């Protein structure tokens, strides 16, 4: 049994690694076929204006425009193994440094929103499931539908408008206060700057997990076990938290792991709105500015998160299945 699990785990891990390799290949190929000339997008117009042809040739060298693609790909792969993702063209720093800097800003944001959307989603989903077809359910369902029809960046915009522009409760952008030496920045200030982006980001993830949990909850509510408990006169609160929670939590966590991709996608848009200097904003700038090494680096790192999340979700699925079987047996007897 243990051996079997270990074997399965090993296979899943191997598969994740293979996927990651494929991701490397695909994303690299995509940048190779791009017709975009990094030179013209990166060096401003007036600067190119005061440049001689020799100079421009020298620049082409610097931007690696004269090396064949397969060679560059192998170089890049070799670098990855050594933890070297190349040098960002726009920042003129190692990509790993740039990414670390940006990630340290985004990390807080991502983790908070991940947790908040999970907690809120589970709670709302349980309430909706428990009060199926009654008022709370209707409100929550409509809310979820509206929310998932609304672009995340617009939600972010409206939040920015209300809380920063009108109420002035929160700063309009950035991850730290203006003009303060790094050592003097307090955690509270950091959090204050992350609250709105995190709220906007959580909101975008909450709908799917709520609906998912709601369904699971309906299932649970219909199980003999709960019917029996209710017949015995157990209160709703107790049912929800002693029986409901334990049954919906694992599926919810699984789903949350599987939706890392959405979370990161959302952060790309939300960071743009809040001019929050994180990974997502860096990815957009790299995409628009033609900074290929940075764009690839960010793709790679975020793909590790996503694939890791998917792997975690898969492992959790494996855990759910036997347990469900066992539970059915229990409820039958």
Partner 1 sequence: MTGKRIQAFFLAGVLAGSLLLTACTEAEENNAANESGTEKVQTESAGESVPESEQDTVIVAMSPEAEPESGFDPVYGWGAGEHVHEPLIQSTLTVTDENLEIGYDLATEMECSEDGLTWTVKIRTDAYFSDGEKLTAQDVAFTYNQLRDSSSVNDFTMLESAEAVDESTVVFHMNRPYSIWPYTMAVAGIVPEHAYDETYGQHPIGSGRYLLTQWDQGQQVILDANPDYYGEAPEMERVVIVFMEEDAALAAAMAGQVDVAYTAASYAEQEVPGYSLFSCETVDNRGFNLPAVERQTLEDGTVIGNDFTANVNVRRAINIGIDRQELIDHVLNGHGTPAYSVCDKMPWYYEGSQVEYNLEEAQALLDEAGWKIGEDGIREKNGVKASLEIAYPAGDSVRQAIAADCANQLKELGIDATSRGVGWDEAYTLALSEPLMWGWGAHTPMELYNIYHTNADTGLAEYSPYASETVDEYMDQALEADSLEESYELWKKAQWDGESGITQEGDIPWIWLVNIDHLYFVRDGLEIAPQKLHPHGHGWSIVNNVDQWSWNNQEG
Partner 2 sequence: MRKTGEKERNRRRETLVTTALLVFFLVLITVLGVYWKEDALLTDFSRKNLPPSLRYPFGTDFMGRDMFKRTLTGLSMSIRLGVVTAAASALLAGAAAVLAVNTNRAVDTLFQGCVDVVMGIPHMLLLILISFACGKGFFGIVMGITLTHWPSLARVLRAEALSLKAKPYMRLAGKLGVTKWALIKKHYIPHLLPQFFTGLFLLFPQAVLHEAGMTFLGFGLSPEEPAIGIILSESMKYLVMGQWWLAVFPGAALAATVLMFFGLGQKICLLIDPASVQE
Restricting to residues 258-297, name those near partner 2 by CB under 8 A: 260-262, 264-266, 268-269, 272-273, 280, 283-284, 287-288, 290, 295
If one counts every other C-beta atom within 10 angstroms of the C-beta of residue 46, the result is: 7
Q: Facing residues of 94 across strands?
A: 87
Q: Which does 225 bind (CB under 5 to 8 A by kind): partner 1, partner 2, none?
A: none
Q: Is 87 helix (H, G, I), strand (E, B) or coil?
A: strand
Angle at 34 between CA 29 and CA 36, to 5 degrees: 145
- As a three-state string, the secondary structure of 208-231 is HHHHHHHHHHHHHHHCHHHHHHHH
Give the residue with the Cβ less far from partner 1, 146 or 304: 304
- CA-to-CA distance for 78 and 84, rounded, in angstroms? 8
Find the shortest distance in angstroms from Cβ 275 to partner 1: 6
Say how far apart CA 60 and CA 71 lie, in whole Å: 17
Extract the tokens encoding 58: 């020298």
Q: Residue 280: which of partner 2, partner 1, none does it interact with, CB under 5 to 8 A by kind?
A: partner 2
> How many chain residues touch partner 2 (CB under 8 A)?
55
Residue 96 binds which one of partner 1, partner 2, none, with CB within 5 to 8 A depending on kind?
A: partner 1
How far is it, in rounded angstroms, from Cα 104 to Cα 282?
A: 13
Question: Which of partner 1, partner 2, none does residue 227 bind (CB under 5 to 8 Å by kind)?
Answer: none
Residue 167's binding partner among partner 1, partner 2, none (Cβ under 5 to 8 angstroms by kind) is none
Whether residue 313 contacts residue 212, with contact meaning beta carbons closer than 8 Å, is answered with no
In the complex, which residues of this chain contact partner 2 (CB under 8 A)?
A: 15, 19-20, 22-23, 26-27, 30-31, 33-36, 133, 145-146, 148-154, 157-158, 160-161, 165, 172, 215, 260-262, 264-266, 268-269, 272-273, 280, 283-284, 287-288, 290, 295, 298-299, 302-303, 305-307, 310
């Amino acid at each position: 049994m243990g051996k079997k699990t270990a074997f399965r785990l090993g296979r899943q891990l191997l598969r994740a690694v293979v996927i990651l390799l494929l991701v490397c290949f695909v994303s690299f190929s995509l940048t190779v076929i791009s017709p975009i000339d990094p030179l013209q997008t990166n060096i401003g117009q007036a600067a190119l204006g005061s440049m001689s042809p020799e100079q421009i040739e020298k620049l082409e060298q610097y931007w690696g425009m004269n090396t064949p693609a397969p060679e560059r790909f192998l170089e890049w792969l070799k670098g990855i193994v050594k933890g070297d993702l190349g040098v960002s063209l726009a920042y003129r720093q190692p990509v790993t440094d740039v990414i670390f800097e940006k990630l340290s800003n985004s990390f807080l944001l991502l983790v908070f929103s991940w947790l908040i959307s999970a907690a809120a989603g589970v709670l709302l989903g349980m309430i909706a499931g428990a009060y199926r077809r009654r008022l709370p359910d209707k409100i929550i369902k409509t809310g979820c539908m509206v929310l998932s029809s609304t672009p995340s960046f617009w939600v972010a915009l409206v939040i920015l408008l209300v809380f920063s522009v009108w109420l002035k409760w929160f700063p309009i952008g950035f991850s730290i206060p203006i003009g303060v030496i790094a050592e003097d920045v307090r955690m509270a200030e950091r959090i204050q700057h992350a609250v709105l982006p995190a709220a906007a980001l959580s909101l975008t993830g909450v709908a799917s997990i709520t609906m998912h949990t709601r369904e699971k909850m309906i299932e649970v509510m219909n199980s003999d076990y709960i019917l029996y408990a209710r017949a015995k006169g157990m209160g709703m609160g107790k049912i929800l938290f002693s029986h409901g929670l334990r049954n919906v939590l694992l599926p919810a966590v699984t789903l949350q792991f599987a939706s890392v991709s959405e979370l990161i996608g959302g952060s790309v848009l939300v960071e743009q709105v809040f001019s929050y200097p994180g990974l997502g904003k860096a990815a957009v700038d790299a995409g628009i500015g033609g900074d290929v090494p940075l764009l690839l680096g960010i793709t790679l790192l975020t793909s590790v998160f996503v694939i890791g999340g998917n792997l975690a979700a898969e492992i959790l699925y494996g855990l759910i299945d036997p347990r469900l079987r066992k539970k059915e047996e229990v409820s039958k007897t």
